């Protein structure tokens, strides 16, 4: 009931009560929901993926990797919007990225509003976030994939590529922090995201020494995060 009320308040369409019950009791049996096309679905536009890329370089890499696998499996282009409000920068463009993925430094929400897609997308995200059960969130998320909506705020959620392939437009948001989201393109990602080889003229003795040490031992990288983790908001949560 709570999910139904939230959805009906935020969207022009009301989710039938029978679907809510199936979400709760037997998500695998959910049939397709004929609610009509999303805006811009009725024309001859090329199928496309819209997404939000956010955070620092680490999060940008996860989101890009997720998008690359979508692009590869669904065989379509993607546009990612980046607008960081925390003072971070778009760093992933330093790498030679997939030409099918365009990254634009603009606000994701504003761009979706201009395309007439944001109201439906934000409604679906609120519904997915409502249950306290992570398992139920995942199943409801899969239900909305049948409408071209992917929202995974944390963890891993299996994607229904067959359902997504039928959608003219796909919108996604989330940090996508699981290697399972890009397992099928991992080799291509390693090639794309490799640090370029330096010219001999650019080498330094100190750098070469570190490279030799790393390559000659079983090396481990330890990242000590400070920055925002030192704020009152995070330091107790992450035991800083």
pLDDT for residue 155: 77
Q: Give 49's DSSP letter.
A: E
pLDDT for residue 20: 46
By C-alpha distance, which of 139, 181, 143 is closest to 163?
143
Q: pLDDT tens digit string along 67-91?
A: 999 999 999 999 999 987 667 788 9
How many other CB atoms sit within 10 Å of the CB of residue 75?
A: 10
Tokens of 159: 């994607």
- On the 0-12 / 13-18 / 19+ scale of CB atoms within 10 A, 157 is buried
**Residue 35's Cα: distance from chain center in Å?**
25
| pLDDT above 90 for 64 | yes
Tell me the average pLDDT across 38-53: 67
Q: Over the chain, what is the mean pLDDT? A: 77
Phi, psi of 188 (to 5 degrees): -65, -40
Q: Lowest-pLDDT range, 57-66, 119-128, 194-203? A: 194-203
Angle between helices 118-129 and 134-145 (to 10 degrees): 150
Model confidence, pTM? 0.70
Q: pLDDT tens digit string along 217-236?
A: 999 988 877 766 777 777 77
pLDDT for residue 196: 65
pLDDT for residue 204: 63
| pLDDT above 60 for 105 | yes
Q: pLDDT tens digit string along 156-190?
A: 888 889 999 999 899 999 999 999 999 999 999 99
CB-based contact 193:94 (threshold 8 Å): no
How many other CB atoms sit within 10 Å of the CB of residue 138?
A: 18
Using the structure block, give the residue that is written with the tokens 């934000």.
122
pLDDT for residue 39: 36
Tell me the average pLDDT across 23-42: 42
């Amino acid at each position: 009931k709570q999910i139904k009320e939230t959805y009906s308040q935020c969207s022009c369409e009301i989710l039938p009560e029978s679907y809510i019950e199936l979400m709760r009791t037997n998500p695998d049996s959910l049939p397709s929901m004929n609610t009509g096309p999303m805006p811009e679905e009725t024309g001859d536009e090329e199928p496309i993926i819209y997404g939000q890329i956010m955070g620092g370089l680490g999060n940008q890499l996860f989101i890009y990797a997720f998008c690359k696998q979508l692009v590869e499996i669904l065989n379509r282009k993607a546009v990612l919007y980046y607008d960081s409000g925390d003072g971070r920068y778009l760093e992933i463009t330093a790498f030679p990225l997939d030409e099918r993925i365009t990254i634009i430094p603009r606000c994701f929400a504003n761009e979706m509003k201009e395309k007439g897609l944001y109201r439906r997308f934000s409604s679906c995200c609120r519904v997915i976030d409502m249950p306290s059960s992570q398992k139920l969130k995942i199943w409801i998320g899969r239900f909305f994939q049948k409408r071209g909506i992917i929202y995974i705020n944390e963890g891993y959620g299996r994607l229904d590529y067959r359902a997504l392939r039928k959608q003219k437009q796909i919108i996604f948001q989330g940090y996508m922090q699981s290697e399972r989201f890009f397992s099928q393109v991992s080799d291509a990602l390693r090639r794309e995201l490799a640090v370029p080889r330096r010219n001999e003229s650019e080498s330094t003795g100190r750098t070469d020494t570190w490279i030799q040490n790393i390559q000659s031992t079983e090396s481990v990288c330890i990242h000590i995060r400070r920055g925002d983790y030192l704020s009152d908001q995070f330091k107790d949560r992450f035991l800083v």
